[in-house]
């Protein structure tokens, strides 16, 4: 069971482990997922957003269709704020910055995405260096996706030459093998409670 860090009559926040799907996949062997496990305890739990299977961290569920609709609107209006922690290959020079690379589906290589300045959708990620490991030639980053494209963080970091360690989908083989899992964790989540209007904030330390 994913770790439940908050539940009330309107919403649920859990910590998803790496390697577990957010929602069911195609086929009987891909039915185990965060959504099914949460719904086994809260029958009215509905998905609001997803994390990649390889990504761990905070995930938000609505209880009932009305709450889901309000939270979906908040996501669409960019009123839900998420931050991630990642460890990437190489030493990132600037202490902070933004990655502005339009993204689109890489159709011949689905489910991969790619950046394309002519046909891609606007995509923006802000980053801040948390630490540099000179010996290992890696950088720990805090990431804030302003937009929410599929695989945005993974493709954006690849696009600036700093793929995430353990990324089996995008990183070159020598970077994939530097970690046993994708070193990407949804570490912070802020939103307005869909019923009370109270500000909600949750944090989860990266397990790497």
Active site residues: 52
Quote the CA–CA distance of 115 and 155 in Å, as a whole number: 7
143 within 8 A of 86, measured Cβ to Cβ: yes
Residue 4 exposed, middle or buried by CB count within 10 Å (0-12, 13-18, 19+): middle
In the three-class reduction of DSSP (H, G, I as helix; E, B as strand; rest coil), residue 43 is classed as coil
51 within 8 A of 59, measured Cβ to Cβ: yes
Please list the helix, strand and coil fractions of the chain in percent, rounded to the nearest 5, in that order: 20, 40, 45
Copy the structure tokens of residue 33: 């997922």
Q: Which residues have CB under 8 Å from 173's CB, separation 6+?
A: none
Residue 59 exposed, middle or buried by CB count within 10 Å (0-12, 13-18, 19+): buried
């Amino acid at each position: 069971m994913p770790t439940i860090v908050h539940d009330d009559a309107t919403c649920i926040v859990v910590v998803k482990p790496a390697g577990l799907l957010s929602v069911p996949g195609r086929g009987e062997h891909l039915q185990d997922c965060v959504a099914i496990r949460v719904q086994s305890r809260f029958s009215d739990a509905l998905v609001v957003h997803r994390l990649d299977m390889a990504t761990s961290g905070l995930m938000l569920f609505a209880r009932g269709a009305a709450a889901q609709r309000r939270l979906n609107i908040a996501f669409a209006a960019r009123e839900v704020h998420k931050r991630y922690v990642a460890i990437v290959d190489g030493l990132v020079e600037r202490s902070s910055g933004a990655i502005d690379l339009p993204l689109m589906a890489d159709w011949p290589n689905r489910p991969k995405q790619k950046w394309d300045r002519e046909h891609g959708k606007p995509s923006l990620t802000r980053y801040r260096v948390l630490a540099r490991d000179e010996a290992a030639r890696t950088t720990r980053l805090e990431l804030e996706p302003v937009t929410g494209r599929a695989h945005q963080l993974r493709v954006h970091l690849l696009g600036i030459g700093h793929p995430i360690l353990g990324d089996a989908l995008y990183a070159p083989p020598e970077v994939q093998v530097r970690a046993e899992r994708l070193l990407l964790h949804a570490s912070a989540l802020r939103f307005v409670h869909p019923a009370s209007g109270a500000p909600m904030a949750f944090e989860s330390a990266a397990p790497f």
